Amino acid sequence: MQRSKLKAIAEQEAEEGEAMYGKNITAEMKNVVDKYIVEPSYVPIKKLIVGRVSYGGMNPEVEKLMTHKITGKKNMEISRQMDKDISDLEMAAHFKSNLANTMA
């Protein structure tokens, strides 16, 4: 009963408001789209760097990532080849020799 009463009151207030201000409110005003974007953080507005930062060669991994992020290059090959101790060819030769020894 309470919900229906509140709903009826809200409808009545909406009708009264429409009757009072209906002449002043145009169709464009009713269908207006927001002209403003609300950004909760100022990081993209000020174009700040987010995350880990390294200067002077203290952390070469982070510096390498920073330079690639700044230039816009996001290449997965760089992260794969970053700290290889053994080349791919050496690894393949090692597994090939071990495979031959286990089969014999």
State the pLDDT at residue 97: 84
Q: What angle do CA 7, 10, 14 make, to 5 degrees?
A: 140
State the pLDDT at residue 66: 80
Tokens 């002077």, residue?
Answer: 56
CB atoms within 10 A of CB 8: 10
| Average pLDDT, rounded, for the chain | 79
Question: Is the pLDDT confidence value at 103 over 70?
Answer: no
Tens of pLDDT along 7-25?
999 999 988 888 887 777 7
Predicted model pTM: 0.27
By the 8 A CB rule, do 66 and 53 touch? yes
Tens of pLDDT along 40-70?
888 888 888 767 777 788 888 888 888 877 7
Q: Residue 57 has which token pair?
A: 């060669």
φ, ψ of residue 26 to 5 degrees: the values are -90, 170
Q: Which residues contact 34 (CB under 8 A, 6 or more apart)?
A: none
For the chain, give the number of residues.
Answer: 104
